[in-house]
Structure 1
Amino acid sequence: MKPIKAPKNCTGCAACSAVCARNAISLCSDEDGFRYPQVDFSLCTECGACASMCPVLNESSRSKASKIYAVRTTDSSVRMSSSSGGFFSVLASKVIAEGGIVYGAAFSSDFKSVKHIGIEKAEDIGKLRGSKYVQCEDNANLFREIKKDLMSGRPVLFSGTPCQIEGLSAYLKKKYDNLLTVDMICHGVPSPAVWSAYISELEEKNNAHSDKVSFRNKISGWKKYSFSVDFSNGNKYCQTVVDDPYMSAFVHSVTIRKSCFKCPFRKLERISDFTMADFWGCEKVTPQMNDNTGITLAFINSEKAISTFNSLCDIEFTEVSEDDALRENSSMYIQTGYNLNRDYFFDNFNGTASISALLHDAANRHTLITRAIGKYRRIKQKIGDSK
């Protein structure tokens, strides 16, 4: 049997668990809160299906976007509740109107975790709308249910991170005409355990339960978005990315999965039909659309995506060049640099008295190496400016 990759390369997509006919593989959390496959060797027959299914072990066929658009929905209320321009909601509405089912990331009822759910009603799109900066805790049944829907002939839209799209595609083994997939430019996925600890601490401080969570609150505009929580007692927590400990640690790559630092799917070529992103820098390219309520970059990666996009209603769009699209979105193809403070954070995570304090400390502490790198970059910049 082909050897399984070291855990640091596993993305947690769960394709191996889904394909196992003996149900010998379970996803179990490690001490940092990330889930990895565990094999019950009393059930395993060493058939090799899991290794042959793993998207990290096996190369897939990908394609580069043929078109790139700046897009936003004409529904301002949907746009304001979306992370960027509301493109996902427009796609979801179309699939549901055609009798289909939409799968996307949703909070649990207590907001302590995130997992994929399937929705069939337009009024439920809000559950999937908006970024969730937490890794989904999906199990083997997710991919199995999607396959059942596809085999029944129903239109299906699946939205997820690049590794989740790769995992689903590997599990399905073939392309389905009734499946649309949407991924995004991904910075990395934070630990579910860290998120659960953080939101629990906020609830304890406010002596109330969470009623609503938004990682991309646009109260101060799209470009200066905030993290906010509405509590059951009427209290509201709202802080900018810089000031909120959880978001600051995420942006500084302190809490993300190890495999995210060497992601094999961080490239221009994608297996998904669509890739979405915030159109940062849009004011220089599409100033007529720049009202600070959000614009989506939509990468059209397949023939199916072209025909789907051309059939959409209730959107404004402008074609943009690859250079303009990627100028401030280099994380689509450039790996996230490893932050040494990640080690410091997880070394102290399970014994900390305050997750907020530890997140703040890890996000803002400077090691000798980070100081040296910063100094080198400043010197290099000065040399460049003097030329």
Structure 2
Amino acid sequence: MPSILLKSAKILDTESSYHLKTKDILIENGVISQIEDSINAGDKIIAHENLHVSNGFFDSSVSFGEPGYEERETLANGVTTARRSGFTGFLLNPNLNPVTDSYSAVKFLQQQIDTQLIQIKPIGALTRSFDGKNLAELYDMQMAGAIGFYDFKTSVKDANLFKIALQYVKGFDGLIFSYPQDQSIAGKAQVNEDKFTTYIGLKGIPSLAEELQIARDLYILEYTGGKLHIPNVSTKASIQLIKEAKVKGLQATSSVALPHLFFSSNQLEAFDSKYKILPPLRTEEDCIALKQAVLDGTIDMVTCDHEPMDEEHKELEFENASYGSIGLESAFSVLNNLFGVEKASELLSKTKLCFGLETSQIEVNQRADLSLFEPNLEYKFQKKHIFSKSKNSIFLGENLKGKVLGSIYNNSFYEN
């Protein structure tokens, strides 16, 4: 690979001695070889006004469609989308066809992943075909490369099965993901239960459905020990439960999806299906509490919760439309809007630490794992900004701030 020179790049890396300094950065053979005030070298020169650089973005919840749902997204285009959006790695959900629930399924994915210039860690299913009854090949999948086990956006109803799963994976330091929704309480409702959704006539899911599931799971975790990740936390009371678990010293991490930091259920007035996601959009009070929990560290990470859905399943009447929104392309801009560039880059790059994955600093002789962006550009997010095969973004039409310029990883450079 030709050497790359980043000219006058402001460095955002709290672990680096160059944090908040503007420097030239030379990258040779995938490694940072020089960081100086001025460097006159490099086969490819990247020079942008107000260029910023941080550690590579990493996301904890990305769904594609291959194998089985290629009409939604392919692996190759999904990877290109991620890299152009500043991401140098992510966890890949098991909601494929067939479901990623065996050693052979993880191995097949790993073989496809190894040809891509990005760090992808597959998540295996917790139960066979998400049936909620029979544990999948957990140990074998971890040996094949799975980072954890998750029945994507489906909670485990059987408390004893959940207990056994936590006890079993302790033997090989496995990680269980548990989606926070008690389906017996949620029923067939599709939005949050609050004054606004009641006013517009939509049957709601009470926040109790999430909080009861989290309380049960944390109580079992306290009994069994082990490691638990709670994805897509979305209510104020859930935050308090997680805070109490951390005080107890439980090994529990959690994430919040970007739409729940940006929108409330008030967006549903027009019954636009782009706002139909799981968990549902909650109240403004929940939204404010979630942002504070991100800032104080109660919630460990944010996720774009990238979930492509083709038009045939998404562009329908609200009650018939599928759940889900893509989010890779808008992730940096949304967080930049909410928290500013320093916090946005920190949140997007620290996720890999939560999963014990190797990281590098922006220092000489360190591996170049970098995201490049200009934080001040303001624009309206439109379909022309989407690289995904599916276009189902909840952020379409929103005024955002900050543009990703590209990413550098594994001796390769992707540029917008």
TM-score band w.r.t. shorter chain: 0.3 to 0.5
Instruction: Flag the structure with higher helix content.
Output: 1
TM-score (norm 2): 0.31
